[in-house]
C-alpha cells in the first residue's frame, strides 16, 4: 500500500468557496484591478478602460485563483476522524 493513494485532491466546492477569483494586472505599470468572484468580465472591462486612459499600456495578466482540498480517501483512518 502506498500512502499517496489514501488522499484525494479535488476542487473545493463547499458552500461559500468561490469557483474562482479573478484579478487583472497591467504589465506596464503593475496596477491591479479589483478582485471578483466567479466572473472575470468586470476585469476585462477594467483592462479596456485602463488602456483607454493609458494608450501605451496594452499588456495584461489575468490572475485566477482556484481553491483545492485534500480529503482522506477510502481506507484512510482520517476519514473516520472528520474535522
Q: Are the beta carbons of 69 and 12 closer than 8 angstroms?
A: yes
The smaller minimum CB distance to Zn ion, of residues 24 and 26, is found at 26
CA 34 to chain centroid, in Å, comes to: 14
Q: What DSSP state is assigned to residue 64?
A: E
Instruction: Write down the least CB distance from residue 46 to Zn ion, Å.
Output: 11
Instruction: Write down the least CB distance from residue 22 to Zn ion, Å.
Output: 17
Q: Are the beta carbons of 54 and 28 closer than 8 angstroms?
A: yes
Residues binding Zn ion (CB under 5 A): 26, 28-29, 54, 57
Residue number, nearest CB to Zn ion: 26
What is the rounded distance in angstroms from the CA atom of residue 37 to the CA atom of residue 16? 11
The smaller minimum CB distance to Zn ion, of residues 8 and 58, is found at 58
The smaller minimum CB distance to Zn ion, of residues 45 and 54, is found at 54
Amino acid at each position: 500500500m502506498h500512502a499517496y493513494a489514501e488522499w484525494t485532491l479535488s476542487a473545493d466546492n463547499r458552500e461559500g468557496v468561490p469557483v474562482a477569483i479573478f484579478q487583472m494586472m497591467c504589465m506596464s505599470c503593475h496596477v491591479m484591478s479589483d478582485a471578483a468572484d466567479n466572473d472575470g468580465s468586470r476585469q476585462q472591462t477594467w483592462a479596456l478602460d485602463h488602456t483607454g486612459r493609458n494608450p501605451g499600456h496594452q499588456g495584461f495578466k489575468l490572475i485566477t485563483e482556484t481553491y483545492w482540498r485534500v480529503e482522506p480517501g477510502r481506507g484512510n483512518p482520517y476519514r473516520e476522524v472528520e474535522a
